[in-house]
Structure 1
Amino acid sequence: MAVDVKYTAEALATGGGREGHAKTKDGSLDLTLAPPKELGGSGDGVNPEQLFATGWAACFLGAMKKVAGDDYDTTDASIGVKVGLGADDDGGFGLTAEIEVVLPKLEQASGEELAEKAHAFCPYSKATSGNIDVKLTVSQD
């Protein structure tokens, strides 16, 4: 699939990877990285899964508002993304994801329809399609 690139984000990680430092080239993000306590780390920093979940949530919300157009009321909509990290069957690590779409102004069926459209449109969802298990849920609250 060809992509006509309009913007490129640049970031650099240094130190120990999950325990080190990361920053964007433009300086808008400058973060201390630390593994979560659940993985034996200090938890005194940000981890890659948090960054991925945050980016995906923002991207998904933007994609949903774009595909909604004037057909769906996305007022007060929110997206929650959980990214799980754990051992996979190959002895390495893998990711899982849960996307919770909250659409207070839509009935369940309309919300599910919109969420599926957004999931097909969102670049993060496209990038992970077929690569990780993703659970998509829709609610009004």
Structure 2
Amino acid sequence: MESTKKNLYTADATAVGGRSGHVRSATGVVDLEMSVPEGLGGKKGATNPEELFAAGYASCFQQALLVIAQRAGDKLDPATEVKCGVTLFQEGEGYGLSAVLDIDLKAFDRDKTIDMVRQAHKICPYSVGTRGNMEVELKVQGETIPVAPEENAGVAEKGGVAA
């Protein structure tokens, strides 16, 4: 069986000093001081891996919503928001992450919004990459929507579109 995988883009970044160090992307666009989160004793004015992950996931998920809307012949309201909260937790000796995505499409009714969010969750590269590895909660305007176990676990659906 021949693979249809086609690499579209690779981002490169280098970290020095861990959580109390510095990150820089190969392009130089990302060039940031890192710190343990301020609430855990870190310094003000620096970012952390969870904050960067949340920003990337929110942006990527919104792009997946744009793709889903376009496929259906719809257009998203320019004020559409995707908020992402990423939680760092400790469980025994290990650490983990969980995420909550809260989506407000502004212009669509609740049922259509829920359907679009579920479709976006199937194709968003962050959702696909975390599936089966971390808990992701989906919300629409602050209200949790049910997610079937297979939507958060297992191998990603084949044939998804990079968003």
Normalising by structure 1, we get a TM-score of: 0.91
**Structure 2 residue runs without a partner (length 5+):** 143-163
Q: Which runs of 4+ in 1 moved over 4 A?
A: none
Name the counterpart of 1:35: 36
Task: State the distance in 2 between where 1:23 and 1:59 align.
Answer: 20
- Give the secondary structure class of the aligned counterpart of 1:93: strand
CA RMSD of aligned residues (A): 1.7
**Structure 1 residue runs without a partner (length 5+):** none
Task: State the distance in 1 between where 2:4 and 2:64 align.
Answer: 19
Could you report, residue by residue, the CA deviation over 1:62-116 in whole angstroms, capped at 9, with x for unpaired residues? 111001114444112110000000102x411011100001111010000000000
Structure with more of its chain in strand, by fraction = 1
Task: State the distance in 2 between where 1:20 and 1:33 align.
Answer: 5
Which has the larger displacement, 119-128 or 66-75?
66-75
Task: State the distance in 2 between where 1:43 and 1:27 align.
Answer: 22
Percentage of identical aligned residues: 35
Pairwise CA distance, 1:7: 1.1
Any conservation in 2 of the 1:108–1:139 contact (CA below 8 Å)?
no
Pairwise CA distance, 1:139: 2.3
Pairwise CA distance, 1:42: 1.8
**For this pair of structures, how many residues does the alignment match?**
138
Task: State the distance in 2 between where 1:40 and 1:93 align.
Answer: 17
- Give the secondary structure class of the aligned counterpart of 2:86: strand
Pairwise CA distance, 1:130: 1.4
